[in-house]
């Protein structure tokens, strides 16, 4: 049956930044499709709480911006006989300020958290996937991979880079049996967007601007993630899948 293509039983998925928000929702979706889950985060207490809400979930604590720490954690986990079949690079942050006043230290944090982490974790995990001749890497991009808004130019730059790094991963690693793709969420009600959700003026603008007429729900990203993590996407590579209520399709 065609539905069997989406079955993730026997697969193990590592999701970075998965103690809350989109990362946790994606972990729940992959679990529902049969995958074993490995949660990641820097806050040990939040990570422990998240793991308690997903039956059988492992915790792999490391700072995704620290190349050496990432490599050590991934290599040790793999050496324990726990192969990572699916990687979701979800760790990310936001900082809003007019570009002319944007703090240099905030810009550097955005670069490290939103794009360097994708390189660090992607490379560490891919080395093991390449040796096995198979693997799925899903990077979390953004509607800002294609669009821009005032006060978030550096964030837009990092998410544009995630889109192109995804294409680069596919170009280098597809020949080794890896599928490397990205999900680009539109505006979702998450902790990262809490200030915008609480702003009635912005919410009214967003509902008018988005063809679907509303904020997205994090659960609505699960289907895209399951598709890209499964055999159903076996010939999909270097693709950026926008899940945005139509916002990138409409002026």
What pLDDT digit, counting tens, does each position of 153-171 carry? 999 999 999 999 999 999 9
Report phi then psi at 188, rounded to 5.
Answer: -120, 150
High-pLDDT (> 70) share of the chain, %: 100
Q: Among this protein's residues, is 155 annotated catalytic? A: yes
| Confidence class for position 14, pLDDT limits 50, 70, 90 | very high
Closest C-alpha to 174, from 83, 88, 226, 237: 237
Q: Give the H/E segment covering residue 113.
A: none
CA distance 54 to 68: 28
pLDDT beyond 80 at 1: no
Q: Which two tokens stand for residue 147?
A: 């669009």
**Average pLDDT of span 104-120:** 98
Cβ distance 221 to 245 under 8 Å? no
Query: 2-244 domain in CATH 3.40.50.720?
Result: yes
What's the pLDDT at 242?
98
Residue indicated by tokens 């793999």: 78
**Average pLDDT of span 135-156:** 97
**Average pLDDT of span 196-205:** 94
What's the pLDDT at 195?
87
pLDDT beyond 90 at 120: yes
- pLDDT tens per residue, range 36-89: 999 999 988 999 999 999 999 999 999 999 999 999 999 999 999 999 999 999
Q: Supply the mean pLDDT for the chain.
A: 97
| Confidence class for position 216, pLDDT limits 50, 70, 90 | very high
CA angle (226, 230, 236) in 5-degree steps:
100
Cβ distance 88 to 13 under 8 Å? yes
CA distance 1 to 3: 5
What's the pLDDT at 3?
84
Q: Which of 77, 155, 187, 242 is catalytic?
A: 155
CA 133 distance to own-chain centroid: 22
| Confidence class for position 191, pLDDT limits 50, 70, 90 | confident
- pLDDT tens per residue, range 218-237: 999 999 999 999 999 999 99
| Confidence class for position 117, pLDDT limits 50, 70, 90 | very high
CA 241 distance to own-chain centroid: 12
High-pLDDT (> 90) share of the chain, %: 94
CA distance 141 to 119: 13
CA atoms within 13 A on the CB side of 106: 15
Q: Where are the beta strands (DSSP E) in the chain?
A: 12-15, 36-39, 58-59, 86-89, 135-140, 178-185, 240-243
Q: How far is residue 52 from each of residues 20, 48, 101, measured CA to CA in Å?
A: 13, 6, 42
Domain ranges of the chain: 2-244
pLDDT beyond 90 at 190: no
Q: How far is residue 96 from each of residues 12, 17, 110, measured CA to CA in Å?
A: 35, 20, 11
DSSP 216: B
CA atoms within 13 A on the CB side of 162: 37
């Amino acid at each position: 049956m065609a539905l069997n293509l989406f079955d993730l039983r026997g697969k193990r998925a590592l999701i970075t930044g998965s103690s809350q928000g989109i990362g946790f929702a994606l972990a729940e979706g992959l679990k529902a499709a049969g995958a074993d889950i490995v949660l990641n985060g820097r806050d040990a207490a939040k990570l422990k709480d998240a793991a308690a809400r997903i039956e059988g979930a492992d915790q792999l604590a490391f700072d995704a911006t620290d190349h050496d720490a990432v490599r050590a954690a991934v290599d040790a986990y793999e050496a324990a006989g726990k192969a990572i079949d699916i990687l979701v690079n979800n760790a990310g942050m936001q900082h809003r300020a007019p570009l002319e006043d944007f703090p240099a230290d905030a810009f550097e944090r955005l670069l490290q958290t939103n794009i360097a982490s994708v390189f660090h974790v992607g490379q560490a995990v891919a080395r093991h996937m390449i040796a096995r001749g198979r693997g799925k890497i899903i990077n979390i991009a953004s509607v800002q991979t294609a669009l821009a808004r005032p006060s978030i130019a550096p964030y837009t730059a990092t998410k544009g880079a995630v889109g192109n790094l995804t294409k680069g991963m596919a170009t280098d690693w597809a020949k080794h049996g890896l599928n490397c793709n990205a999900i680009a969420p539109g505006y979702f009600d998450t902790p990262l967007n809490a200030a915008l959700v609480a702003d009635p003026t912005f919410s009214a603008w967003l509902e008018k601007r988005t063809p679907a007429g509303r904020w997205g729900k994090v659960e609505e990203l699960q289907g895209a993630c399951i598709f890209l993590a499964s055999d159903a996407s076996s010939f999909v590579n270097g693709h950026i899948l926008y899940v945005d209520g139509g916002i990138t399709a409409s002026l």
